[in-house]
Structure formats: structure tokens, C-alpha cells
Amino acid sequence: MHVQTFDTYDELSRAAADMVADQLRVKADPVLGLATGSTPEGMYTELRLMHGSGSLSFKNVITFNLDEYAGILPENPQSYHYYMNQNLFDHVDIPRDAINLPSADIDNALFGCQNYEDKIAELGGIDLQVLGLGLDGHIGFNEPGSAFDSRTRPVELDESTRQANARFFDNIDQVPTQAITMGIGTIMEARKILLLVNGEAKADILRRVLHGEITKQVPASVLQNHPDVTVLTDIKL
């Protein structure tokens, strides 16, 4: 894995946006894998600025998001659909039908998840996948113990993840117990991966991801097996 360390979150965010922008410029019809959470917010701000200044178009981009909470409708401000609209899609020239997120409809998950996988494959796979890192080492919502060959599926959220994400809800009881996530196998098929890690609280888990044993107990450690991963961080290791 190629690690780049920055002094500030803003520098990290600019570098992340530059990498995404480069990907958009080198391919006529790029397929982007996108992440939510607080870490990529700065990157989305930079991408909006690039678009606003006329230097970047999303006209030919196709996106697939990593995950969504089960049972949270797209109009709900806590949904990842809503997050993506607010942070990026409502502000750029991406066609609505080029945007893909897992459906929150867990009752039809079997069909929905297969459909998601099929669509990624039909479009030739993901060129660049952006990832954040959970405090417990999760990527997407692939919690510790997830199989390395897992595909898009419904999952139970760990209590620690619900606690960590409770800050986006009024209280912990409102945080869903389930989600739909791309699998680790799905993520690993992306041609390039960009892992963003921000803040001292993630220093220990980042060390384990980069230098520890490759184990299902630290899902992101599997990235050591991927041939093209760039890690952007403001943590001095």
C-alpha cells in the first residue's frame, strides 16, 4: 500500500479530490465507487469547487456507493442517499440515472443485492473505489468477521459502529441495526482503491490495517493484498 501523510485534513481532502479528478479525466466513462461518513466530506467539498470553477465534469461518470442503512428512506436526512445528494450529486452535472446506491429495502435485499453486483459487472467494474475506515477496521459496513469473498448483502451492525455513528442521529435508538453493504470481495475487485483516514482516534486501527496480520477481525487489513491502494492520512504513524 502506498501511504501519503498530510499535515492537515484540508490537504488530505485536496489530494483525495485530485486523485478522483485525475480518474475522471483519464477515462471517457469512469466508474467511481463512493463512500460516506465524515472523512470524505472535505473531498466532496473540493470536488464541488472544481466543478463550480468549470474544471471538472461528472457528465460521463457512473457511481456506486458502498452502503446504505436498512429501512432509512432516501428522503431521510440520515440516509446515505441524502448525504450523497447534499455533499455531491445535487451540485454537479452527473445524470441521475448514473447514480447507484444499495437499496434500503431489506425485504427485497436478495434481488436488490444481486442486481447491484450485476450492474457493476455490466459496466466493466469499478475504476476507483473511495473508502473510509471504521474504528473497528470496517470498510463499507463489512464488520469484523466478514468473509474476504463476501458480496453485496444485508449485514448486522456492530454495537460499536452504532455508537460511533450515533452522532448523526438524535439518539442511539434511532441508529439502524442493519445495513446493506458492498462485500469485501466486491471492493477488492476495484482496479484502484483510495483509503482516507483522518484523526488520531484511528491511529491504532490504521497501524493494524497497514502493518498487522491480514485477518477477518480487521476487515481493512485485506487491502494489503490489493495491488493498487493509496492511503491518504493526517495521522503521523
Catalytic annotation on 67? yes
Is residue 30 a contact point for ligand GLP (CB under 6 A)?
A: no
Binding mask 38-57 for ligand GLP (x = CB under 6 A): xx------------------
Catalytic annotation on 81? no
CB of 84 to ligand GLP, least distance (A): 12
Catalytic annotation on 91? no
**Contact indicator for 63, 128 with CB cutoff of 8 Å:** no
Q: How many CA atoms lie within 13 A of 52 on its CB side?
A: 9
Is residue 186 a contact point for ligand GLP (CB under 6 A)?
A: no
Q: Among the residues of 67-183, which ranges form H helices?
A: 80-87, 109-122, 159-165
Q: How far is CA 144 from the centre of its chain?
A: 17
CB of 39 to ligand GLP, least distance (A): 3
Among residues 60, 70, 58, 17, which one has the least CA distance to residue 40? 17
Identified binder of ligand GLP from the candidate list 20, 24, 35, 128, rule CB under 6 A: 35
Among residues 187, 178, 174, 116, which one has the least CA distance to residue 147? 187
Is residue 102 a contact point for ligand GLP (CB under 6 A)?
A: no
Q: Which stretch binds ligand GLP (CB under 6 A): 1-9, 22-30, 37-45, 88-96?
A: 37-45
Binding mask 142-181 for ligand GLP (x = CB under 6 A): -------------------x---x----------------
Which residue's CB is nearer to ligand GLP, number 30 or number 102?
102
Sheet arrangement for strand 2-5: 2-5, 229-233, 192-197, 128-131, 31-34, 62-65, 99-100
Which residue's CB is nearer to ligand GLP, number 37 or number 112?
37
Sign of the C-alpha dihedral computed for residues 64, 174, 110 and 157 taken in this order? positive
Catalytic residue among 11, 18, 105, 136: 136
Q: How many CA atoms lie within 13 A of 101 on its CB side?
A: 24
Q: Which stretch binds ligand GLP (CB under 6 A): 48-56, 121-129, 134-142, 183-191?
A: 134-142
> C-alpha angle with apex 57: 186 to 194, nearest 5 degrees?
35
SS3 state at 126: coil
| Dist. CA 171–CA 41, nearest whole Å | 22
Identified binder of ligand GLP from the candidate list 47, 56, 61, 66, rule CB under 6 A: 66
Is residue 134 a contact point for ligand GLP (CB under 6 A)?
A: yes
Residues lying near ligand GLP in the complex (CB under 6 A) are found at 35-39, 66-67, 132, 134, 140-141, 161, 165
For the annotated catalytic residues, the residue numbers are 67, 136, 138, 143
